[in-house]
Amino acid sequence: MNDIYRTLPDEAERHRLLQSPLNGDGLMLLFEAGLLWLTTNQQYVNSLNVFPVPDGDTGTNMVLTMQAAFAEADQNRSTNVGVTGRHFAQGALMGARGNSGVILSQIWRGFSRALDHYETMDTGLLMRAMQEGRNTAYKGVVRPVEGTILTVMKDMTAAAEKALKENTSLSQMLVAIVAAGDESVKRTPELLPILKQAGVVDSGGMGLFYIFEGMLRMLQGLPLDSSGAVLRPLAELDLSNALEEIEEGQDYEVVIDFAPNGNFNLENYYDRLSDIGTSIQVGEGDGIYRMHIHTALDKRYEPIAYTESIGTVKKIMMENLQEQMNGHAKDENKLPLAAVNPGEVAVVAVSPGEGLSRIFASLGVAAIVQGGQTMNPSVKELVAAFENLPTDKIIILPNNKNIFLAAQNAAKVSAKKIAVIPTRNAPQGFAAMLRLIPDGTLEENEASMLEAINEVHTGEITIATRSVEIEGVEVEKGQVIALYDGKLVSSAATIEGAIDALFQQANLDAIERITFFYGEGITQQQVNKLGDHVREKYPDKDLEIHEGGQPHYQLIIAFE
């Protein structure tokens, strides 16, 4: 079956597939229902972000993880629940993105382990699967924090245990699991003070709740908002003449394959896209829609974000139109990555922008994985970056706290010797690379890099995505905010004001050099003006300015 989102069965077929004990087909139907309902609520889960910064991607990461899990199990269909669970868990492991996706994959790993060697699943086996999922998830986190997805899984498991003692049916057990999940999510702010300050519940816990609620809605015959729209055939969507005439400002061609939600409105979709770009075309085939658009450089990610809000993105294709028109060969744009010989240490770095990638390449990394805020790479993508390198000694620089767990899982699934350095941002990654010992051992390099990342502090300047008060800092949506080492420290009306407030938080007496890495949302002229402002206020500090190219964050600032 090529399309993950098939036409869901009628009531009679649901009753047949979901009878107890449940076989592999029935389990797949529950998995699909959970995925669909999570997808419907994806943007709400994304909005449950503690800090008002544009990286609320928990819902997206969990959806992409579930998609990968379902696709793997779908390609290996079996009526055996053990086989189905094993493939689902494997797909989740390799497709896991972000911390939420990795923890979710651990839940399914334990869940599937309990199903192994069983043909069907009854209430007793479901309860044991919940227990194994809970245990595996907790073991997979070095310092488990309550008030998160872990707590919600624990509370739902306790509900399954209680329901089994009461001799309930499979559907009744799911009712108990979902009710407990709902209450657990509501309690997360009481367990995690930062959630209470932000006025939100835990996003990962909310996502897990939606998965199990989707399973229950399937059993109850309730809608999951799967697609019902009809368009012209996908084959009629002609993109062959895309390069014949390019209007001014059409820098990128973006093509997105997606499965829309049930409330998809084609006219509204076109209207919103027309504010983003031109040359808009939409086609449909077997429930999958394809959208084509030309956009300016600074808007090339907007069609992706908007399409994610109305459906599930399956595939993204992006091309630089101006480079194609100029006849530039793709190999001319390849970064000069370091050549690695057998036995040497190779470094893989995750980078959110083209400028940052060029710097990593100049410092000697052997492979670069595109990713960062709102675009966390999967375990599979990380493994692909180093698996074919001609050495068994690998260092991974995730350069984002939400990619660290995925990097650790990538290390676990490989036979190579891998060290994951807990870099939280690009400046820490650069500091680590400056301490690379080319002829050193993996252990020597790991120790050197761990020491280096503690010698740099990082500031970030971005635009607030919502109004909130956290740790005494009042923020209004649309204000410029500053973070220092990941902590929200100020909000201001201008970038200059945010920089001034940020510098007051930094211990400048111990700082010799300051570096600005500017992103997509600011021009070089604006950055140079800000640089002059800083030089005037702090004439004793060395200031460098580099293009970073990162999305969402106007400035990443390194203090060394």
Enumerate domains of the chain plus CATH numbers: 11-220 (1.25.40.340), 234-322 (3.30.70.1150), 331-453 (3.40.50.510), 457-559 (3.30.1180)
**Residue 496: closest CA among 458, 529, 519, 463:** 529
d(CA 219, CA 214): 9
Query: What is the reported pLDDT for 8?
Result: 61
Query: What is the reported pLDDT for 55?
Result: 65
Q: According to DSSP H, which parts of 199-301 are helical?
A: 203-220, 266-274
d(CA 253, CA 317): 8
**Residue 204: closest CA among 360, 388, 61:** 61
**3-class DSSP state of 276:** coil
- Across the beta sheet with 311-320, the strand order is 277-285, 288-295, 252-260, 311-320
Q: What's the burial of 327, exposed, middle or buried (CB within 10 Å: 0-12/13-18/19+)? A: exposed
Cross-strand bridge partners of residue 318? 254
**Residue 516: closest CA among 533, 539, 504:** 533
Query: What is the reported pLDDT for 320?
Result: 72
What's the chain's Rg over C-alpha atoms?
24
Question: Is this structure's pTM higher than 0.85?
Answer: no
Average pLDDT per block of 10 residues along the chain, 560 residues long: 47 70 92 91 84 76 91 93 96 91 95 95 96 95 90 97 90 94 96 89 95 92 57 42 47 82 82 80 73 81 87 79 50 73 95 92 93 83 92 95 93 94 95 93 96 93 87 88 92 93 89 91 90 92 91 91
Query: What is the reported pLDDT for 328?
Result: 39
Query: What is the reported pLDDT for 480?
Result: 92
**3-class DSSP state of 45:** helix
d(CA 310, CA 259): 9
d(CA 59, CA 41): 8
Cross-strand bridge partners of residue 281? 292
Helix (H) or strand (E) holding 482: strand 480-484
Say whether the peptide bond before residue 21 is cis (omega within 30 degrees of 0). yes
Which amino acid type is present at position 448? S
Query: What is the reported pLDDT for 468?
Result: 85
Query: What is the reported pLDDT for 132?
Result: 97
- Is the separation of the CB atoms in 313 and 300 below 8 Å? no
Task: Tell me the DSSP string of 314-370.
Answer: EEEEEEEHHHHHTT--GGGG---PPP--TTSEEEEEEESSHHHHHHHHHTT-SEEEE
- Is the separation of the CB atoms in 260 and 226 below 8 Å? no
Query: What is the reported pLDDT for 274?
Result: 80
Determine how many CB atoms are found less than 10 A away from the CB of residue 263: 13
Helix (H) or strand (E) holding 262: none
- Is the separation of the CB atoms in 218 and 18 below 8 Å? yes
Determine how many CB atoms are found less than 10 A away from the CB of residue 255: 18
